[in-house]
Structure 1
Amino acid sequence: MRKIFYFMCLVMLAMSCSKPKEVELELGGDPDSRISDTLAYVKKTLVDAPYGWKASLTTEYSGGYGFYMQFGANDRVKMIADLDNQTSLEVKESTYRVRQIMAATLSFDTYTYLTMLQDPDPSVFGGQAGKGMGSDIEYDYVKTHGDTLFFDGRKFHKPLILVKAKEDEQKAYLENGFGVNRNSFLDFLNSNSYLNISVPSIEGKIEVVFSDENKTFSFTYISGGEISALEGKFNYDLGGLNFAEPIKLNGNSFLKAKLSNGKLVLIDSFNKEYEVQQSPVPVLPITAFFGYRDTYNAIQVEGPVMPGGINSEFNALWNNQIANYGLNNASMISMTFRLMNSQKAKLEVWFKIGTSSYLADASFDYVMAGNEIKLSNYIPSVSNTNWNNGWVITAIKNYFINAEFKLDYISSSNANVKGVGGLIKADNPNSFFYGKLVKLSN
């Protein structure tokens, strides 16, 4: 009996030694000592990583973002990020602190790439006006697991995950690793349309949509006559696209995507690769993707030029709107038709005068049946008086008031113009408002 007891003890000891080390907030000693020890531990761990940290986070109103960070003992942090080509290449230095708020908190004190995600001016990095992308700059330490530190955002409670980098990874990040990977992926998206995969447990094709603008993706398919959609967030890393959370699809759990020999593959939890195919035409109807809670909830034109290679009678109205702005020293930022919820839609026009951005908007009730959308109960100037002060021409207002549309994809004679949706006048197929299909937070 005693031998059995000793044997069980040895087995338990061996099992405990084989697990990765995990460190949480210490529970022993008085509260001041505990927090002091944790502060010292977090600071020392951050600084002692000789090749820095690979970092990733998600946002409340947008997707995921990747970073490379190196923390100094002098409370300075050097950072690059996958936000765009500039942030991927230019190392930005700012200050940080590990301090006590309610717990041991990592604070990024001065303006850095993290701060861009919370900037409330849409012209800075495309965040929502007054909200940004819903990101934190203060993170409470949660735990350590192996070479990984876990933090929790203080306001939005989104995770910030730091993984200790290796020497070759540091070198790659500092040599524009983010930018090379991101641009290769964007080249693939621009050259391949209507991406889809096949999974043995699902009948029919699964259409896959990636949005570099929002750093989100979706899997959409039809099963038993019903449309099903799964959405996720991603960030770039050296190996491809890292999914913030696994996407579970009928027994398959997808973790990331990568380019391999010019092909895009998805990788599941068993490290099995699924090649992503492309189709010259949509695999599924637009109604599988467009709705207030779906992959897309808006049609948007950015800047003064509509998507090229498309002829619509609406183009004349658009040109008149742009000319009107020119006469008043204003410029178009964007025009967006968006579904706010199951009953309300809005037409939002952002324009700029000098360095200031302004909104003119109106709301409508809508009914959507299949691909038909009917607007009613027009309410002008929802947010302010700009709508009624001439910043949206009358012809465009009238275009949407009590209008009936058919929602559909819009094709272009320009092979580089993709992902365009339109609201086609029910009584005139030659007249339609069109723009990029996007997902906006409401």
Structure 2
Amino acid sequence: MKKILIYIVGLFLLAGCEKEKVDLTFGEKPEERVSERLAELRGLLTSAENGWNASLNTGGKGGYGFFFDFEDAKTVNMLSDLTAETSSTLNSSTYRVIWAMNASLVFDTFNYLTMLQEPSGSYGGTAPNGYQSDIEFEYLKSSGDSLFMVGKKYKQALILTKASAAQKAAYLDDVMQKKKSQISQYLNTHFNNYITVEGVPNPVSVNLSNTSKTYTFQTVMEDGSVGSVTGKFHYTADDILFSLPIELNGTVFARAKLLNDVLTLYDSNGKAYQVMQSQEPVLSVETLYGYNKSYKSFGTRAEENTLPAVNISSTYPTILNSVKNKFGTVKFRYVNFKFEGRNKLSINVYYTSSANFTATMTVDYTYENGIMTLSNPTGNTTGNWNTRRTALRDLEDYILNNKTFKVDWVKNDAGIPVIGWYAVNDPTAVIYGFPGE
């Protein structure tokens, strides 16, 4: 036994003395491979003369577009389509390329990527995880003019593609916000949007959301069921890129372009699908309206406090005028009915006195087979509903005296979607408004 131990120790000593002669499986020492991998990523990042088009999906919301220009080994300038400011004001940030089980790109000062990662929800995310996005990315590979990375925590893809001189100039000219504004204007003036797809028996409803940076296709299938699928998009220097594409009956939709007030979608083969408008909503209200549907609220329009023009007779406008008049010198701004979850709904009245305030009444609800039933009303925690109850009493009674409503679209000559609650016990009581997210 002693001889065996001496022999084993001798082998370790020999291995230690002869380590430089050991064959290397990959042809070089590990520290050399690490150094080369880090140098590769550093060199690639600064190799783009005109910067990079960048695409980043998030776990909590949609997709976001970036323009990156890595000036040197530690400084990057960027723009993003997150807000009007982030799309027009270059942000300078420091970054590092480090080894963390693989070559990794780390953004280590506050920047537009950090706004997606920031946990409080201050920049539009949801506390405590923000947008479920990263500021540290693992380098996967390069291919042609593209770099492929993935977030360390949330595993969302970050893809960089070299920008052209024209694309760089467009980014610096605020092209992302311009495209974002054009889409918002389009969506505010074009309603009941749809496309037709070969092999799909019915029109396909198309709904884009600038707020969540998602797009949804919905259609009635052959068996009468509703098919719904949601993807993510972001703005680039050239068009709208579907960073999480949708596949429908074997067709993969990759991007969209708005030109001369015509919105066109393109599949992965380049085939064009012009978005058209229907006089009536393509799908039933139950398909689109609910706590987990495309429309989660309805009401008057912010700041305008206007109801849509509809082809029905209702006492609801009279109630709103009464509330507005009773607010007196305090400015009544607008009202909104919003799903807060599977069984909670809020009625929110926005007004201005010394500052902007919201009076909220929360109610329990059931929404089954097109029937909305309300119960258990409570004022909000700040007490604003109770504070303004004299002015709000007519609206509160109007809602709670009816309690049960049939939910349906409201006809109008403009062809815009209008959601209506038709009181079951009073045909003159129809609460209605513009749908919203």
Q: For this structure pair, what is the TM-score category when the shorter chain's length is used for normalisation?
A: 0.7 to 0.9
Q: Cα offset for 1:86?
A: 3.5
Structure 1 72/198 Cα, relative in aligned 2: closer, same or farther at 3 Å?
Answer: same
Matches within 5 A, 1:255-270: 255-260=254-259, 262-270=261-269
Match of 1:5 in 2: none
Select 1:170's aligned residue among 155, 158, 168. 168
C-alpha distance in structure 2 between counterparts of 1:334 and 1:133, whole Å: 28
C-alpha distance in structure 2 between counterparts of 1:42 and 1:233, whole Å: 27
Match of 1:138 in 2: 136
Runs of 5+ unmatched residues, structure 2? 1-24
User: Quick check: 2:365–2:374 contact (8 Å CA) kept in 1?
Assistant: yes
User: Quick check: 2:63–2:244 contact (8 Å CA) kept in 1?
Assistant: no
Structure 1 358/152 Cα, relative in aligned 2: closer, same or farther at 3 Å?
Answer: farther
2:231 aligned with 1:232: yes
Match of 2:22 in 1: none
Superposed CA deviations along residues 12-44 of structure 1, whole A, max 9, x for unmatched, are xxxxxxxxxxxxxx9886665554443332222
Match of 2:272 in 1: 273
User: Quick check: 2:56–2:159 contact (8 Å CA) kept in 1?
Assistant: yes
C-alpha distance in structure 2 between counterparts of 1:153 and 1:299, whole Å: 36
Greater gyration radius: 2
Structure 1 126/303 Cα, relative in aligned 2: closer, same or farther at 3 Å?
Answer: farther
Identity in percent: 31
The amino acid that maps onto 2:382 is: N
Greater Cα shift, 248-257 or 386-395? 386-395
Runs of 5+ unmatched residues, structure 1? 1-25
Superposed CA deviations along residues 185-232 of structure 1, whole A, max 9, x for unmatched, are 334333322111112201221121112222211111112221111211
Q: Cα offset for 1:125?
A: 4.7
Structure 1 349/261 Cα, relative in aligned 2: closer, same or farther at 3 Å?
Answer: closer
Structure 1 389/284 Cα, relative in aligned 2: closer, same or farther at 3 Å?
Answer: closer
What secondary structure does 1:265 align onto? Answer: strand
User: Quick check: 1:325–1:332 contact (8 Å CA) kept in 2?
Assistant: no
Superposed CA deviations along residues 313-334 of structure 1, whole A, max 9, x for unmatched, are 267459748976986xx99898
Match of 2:37 in 1: 38
Q: Cα offset for 1:290?
A: 2.1
What secondary structure does 2:46 align onto? Answer: helix
C-alpha distance in structure 2 between counterparts of 1:231 and 1:298, whole Å: 19
What secondary structure does 1:386 align onto? Answer: coil
Match of 1:297 in 2: 296
Match of 2:179 in 1: 181
User: Quick check: 2:77–2:93 contact (8 Å CA) kept in 1?
Assistant: yes
Match of 1:366 in 2: 366
Select 1:313's aligned residue among 316, 320, 335. 316
Structure 1 392/298 Cα, relative in aligned 2: closer, same or farther at 3 Å?
Answer: farther
Structure 1 32/209 Cα, relative in aligned 2: closer, same or farther at 3 Å?
Answer: same
C-alpha distance in structure 1 between counterparts of 2:37 and 2:398, whole Å: 61
User: Quick check: 1:331–1:353 contact (8 Å CA) kept in 2?
Assistant: no
User: Quick check: 2:305–2:334 contact (8 Å CA) kept in 1?
Assistant: no
User: Quick check: 2:281–2:417 contact (8 Å CA) kept in 1?
Assistant: no
C-alpha distance in structure 2 between counterparts of 1:241 and 1:294, whole Å: 23
Q: What root-mean-square deviation, in Å, do the aligned CA atoms of Structure 1 and Structure 2 show?
A: 3.9
C-alpha distance in structure 2 between counterparts of 1:301 and 1:27, whole Å: 67
What secondary structure does 1:56 align onto? Answer: strand
Match of 1:404 in 2: 404
C-alpha distance in structure 1 between counterparts of 2:353 and 2:321, whole Å: 18
Match of 1:10 in 2: none
C-alpha distance in structure 1 between counterparts of 2:306 and 2:154, whole Å: 35
Q: Cα offset for 1:51?
A: 0.9
Q: Cα offset for 1:49?
A: 1.3
Q: Cα offset for 1:60?
A: 2.6
C-alpha distance in structure 2 between counterparts of 1:360 and 1:28, whole Å: 69
2:385 aligned with 1:386: no
What secondary structure does 1:390 align onto? Answer: helix
Match of 2:338 in 1: 337
Matches within 5 A, 1:117-132: 117-118=116-117, 125-128=123-126, 131-132=129-130
Match of 2:424 in 1: 426
The amino acid that maps onto 1:239 is: D
The amino acid that maps onto 1:271 is: G
Structure 1 285/108 Cα, relative in aligned 2: closer, same or farther at 3 Å?
Answer: same
C-alpha distance in structure 2 between counterparts of 1:326 and 1:101, whole Å: 61
User: Quick check: 2:299–2:435 contact (8 Å CA) kept in 1?
Assistant: yes
C-alpha distance in structure 2 between counterparts of 1:95 and 1:354, whole Å: 42
Match of 2:159 in 1: 161
User: Quick check: 1:144–1:150 contact (8 Å CA) kept in 2?
Assistant: yes
User: Quick check: 1:314–1:431 contact (8 Å CA) kept in 2?
Assistant: no
Q: Cα offset for 1:76?
A: 2.2
Structure 1 350/234 Cα, relative in aligned 2: closer, same or farther at 3 Å?
Answer: farther
Match of 2:242 in 1: 243
What secondary structure does 2:184 align onto? Answer: helix
C-alpha distance in structure 1 between counterparts of 2:328 and 2:60, whole Å: 30
User: Quick check: 2:297–2:339 contact (8 Å CA) kept in 1?
Assistant: yes
Greater Cα shift, 130-139 or 43-52? 130-139
Select 2:205's aligned residue among 192, 201, 207. 207
Superposed CA deviations along residues 25-77 of structure 1, whole A, max 9, x for unmatched, are x9886665554443332222112211111011122332211111111215222
User: Quick check: 1:322–1:332 contact (8 Å CA) kept in 2?
Assistant: no
What secondary structure does 1:144 align onto? Answer: strand
What secondary structure does 2:133 align onto? Answer: coil
C-alpha distance in structure 2 between counterparts of 1:391 and 1:116, whole Å: 36
Superposed CA deviations along residues 209-261 of structure 1, whole A, max 9, x for unmatched, are 11222221111111222111121111112332111222111122211111355
